[in-house]
Amino acid sequence: MHLTKEEEKILKGELGEGTQKALELLVAIGDAYDAEKMISISRAHAASSGQEGDLYFVELLAKGGARCEVPTSTNPVYDLDFFDRRFPVPKFEGGVAHKVMEAYEKVGAILSWSCTPYMAENIPLYGETVAFSESSATPYVNSVIGAKTNREAAQSALAAGIIGKTPLYGLHIRENRKGTCLINVKASLKDEFDYTLLGYAVGKLVGYGIPVLTGLSRQPTTEELINFCAMSNVPGAISMFYIPGFTVEASTVKEAFQSDKPKDKFTITDSDLKNVYKELQTTSGKIDFVMLGCPHYTLKQVEEAAELLKGKKLHKGVSFWICTSATTKLLAQRAGLVGTIEKAGGNVVVDTCIDEPCWVTYYGGVGMTDSPKCAYYRRFKEAIVSRLEDCVEAAVEGKWK
């Protein structure tokens, strides 16, 4: 790979060990893909996770004096003080999470602790070159916004944020952004939960690839697109997709395939979505908790939950959690929504997600969620997956069907 004089200097360690390690990683990735050079990025999102491998790298960079060159946001971890007062959080894991959060602060990251940074804290523009990890954020950035990012790991995205560059490969090259398969959606999609099921079905069908969807009757909403992005990356690896006419980068099917022929063609019907729904349920009956906000709930979703909970009282035996970003919670508080949810007995928690060990107290329980991604992590024993309305109903009744 061709490196500039400035990059050679960084690689020799002349600007400190932190930037040296960051660039070493980027060069290794560039070598793997035969990238000809580095290109500048304008922002990054590091999928911090509070795990040991994460800690090792961010601390290495922090101790080596590295600072983010471009705005770099962070994924959920958890506030140890908040959880320690409520649940038994394993000591070692808690310590790792705490140190991870400190190290990201040291490297000057945007401490968003959110998996949907593109909503408020770190928003790419159409056509921007960025490095966004988090499997649900990558397709949103590529397809909904029309910026360019590869499917990054937390560490490669952080390294890119530190250096302000990424190797030129993959989805930064136009030819690699063409559709791989055509999916005719014959299912009737009413709400965001239908898009959740559709995302899951597409991920399962395609595995790894760039699907081009046709047959959708209207512009999907923000929440529908967020769900589609997240759930297609549960059984699959979908870093990009097209809905010609509705998503920005291609207005026709032909454009999405860059005039090539699709390699595969599929159809998804109502009965396919029904089957996905069935597949997601591992039990029914009594529930121990409801977990919403995977990905982080938007203000609109928090509002819907508050509306459903208004004047109701949650069942004694059921804990009710909504995960969201600090930004969204602030706005929800201003609108009185958090008060309504808390009055019913629910909680709105920021900076975290189900895939963190702070929820260890629920591991043996039956959880209900509107997110197959949340259920997949299976941090709890049994899972029921259904729409928000059903989750609220079950939380009030103490059981589902």
Partner 1 sequence: MTKSEVTLKCHKIIGGCGEGEALVSHEPICFYLTNPKTGVVRERTHELYGKNLAGKVLVFPSGKASSVVQIDGLYKLATNGLAPQALIVKDVETVLVVSAFLVKVPLVDRLERDPFEVIHTGDFVRVDAEKGKVTVSKH
Strands 38-40 vs 165-167: parallel, antiparallel or unpaired: antiparallel
Output the DSSP codes for 177-205. Answer: GS--EEEEE-S---SHHHHHHHHHHHHHH
36 lies in the site for partner 1, by CB under 8 A: no
Site for partner 1 in 331-350 (CB under 8 A): none
Name the residue type at position 3. Answer: L
20 lies in the site for partner 1, by CB under 8 A: no
Among 152, 223, 224, 351, binds partner 1 (CB under 8 A): 152
133 lies in the site for partner 1, by CB under 8 A: yes
Polymer length of the chain:
401
150 lies in the site for partner 1, by CB under 8 A: yes
87 lies in the site for partner 1, by CB under 8 A: no
The least CB distance from residue 53 to partner 1, in Å, is 3
Task: Burial-class residue 214 by CB neighbours within 10 Å (0-12, 13-18, 19+).
Answer: middle
Distance CA 139, CA 227 (A): 11
Task: Burial-class residue 207 by CB neighbours within 10 Å (0-12, 13-18, 19+).
Answer: exposed
- Site map for partner 1, 155-174, x if CB under 8 A? xx-------------x----
Site for partner 1 in 313-332 (CB under 8 A): none
Q: What is the size of the binding site for partner 1 (CB under 8 A)?
A: 26
Among 10, 35, 38, 47, binds partner 1 (CB under 8 A): 47
* Token output for 231: 């759930």
Among 3, 16, 51, 123, binds partner 1 (CB under 8 A): 51
Quick one: DSSP state of residue 117? G
342 Rama sector, left if φ>0, alpha if ψ -120 to 50, beta otherwise: alpha
Among 6, 8, 14, 31, binds partner 1 (CB under 8 A): 31
238 lies in the site for partner 1, by CB under 8 A: no
Sheet holding 382-385, edge to edge: 347-350, 319-324, 289-297, 366-369, 382-385
56 lies in the site for partner 1, by CB under 8 A: yes
| Whether 170 contacts 150, CB under 8 Å | yes
Comparison of 120 and 153: residue with beta carbon closer to partner 1? 153
53 lies in the site for partner 1, by CB under 8 A: yes
Distance CA 115, CA 215 (A): 29
The distance from CA 390 to its chain's CA centroid, rounded to whole angstroms, is 23
Comparison of 29 and 225: residue with beta carbon closer to partner 1? 29
Q: What is the 3-state composition of the chain as percent helix, strand, coil, each rounded to the nearest 5?
A: 45, 20, 40
Comparison of 11 and 331: residue with beta carbon closer to partner 1? 11
Among 43, 45, 57, 314, binds partner 1 (CB under 8 A): 57
292 lies in the site for partner 1, by CB under 8 A: no
Comparison of 236 and 244: residue with beta carbon closer to partner 1? 236
The least CB distance from residue 319 to partner 1, in Å, is 25
89, 347, 367 from 80: Cα distances, Å: 8, 16, 22
**Which residues would be at the binding site for partner 1 (CB under 8 A)?**
24-25, 28-29, 31-32, 47, 49, 51-54, 56-57, 133, 135, 150-156, 170, 233, 355
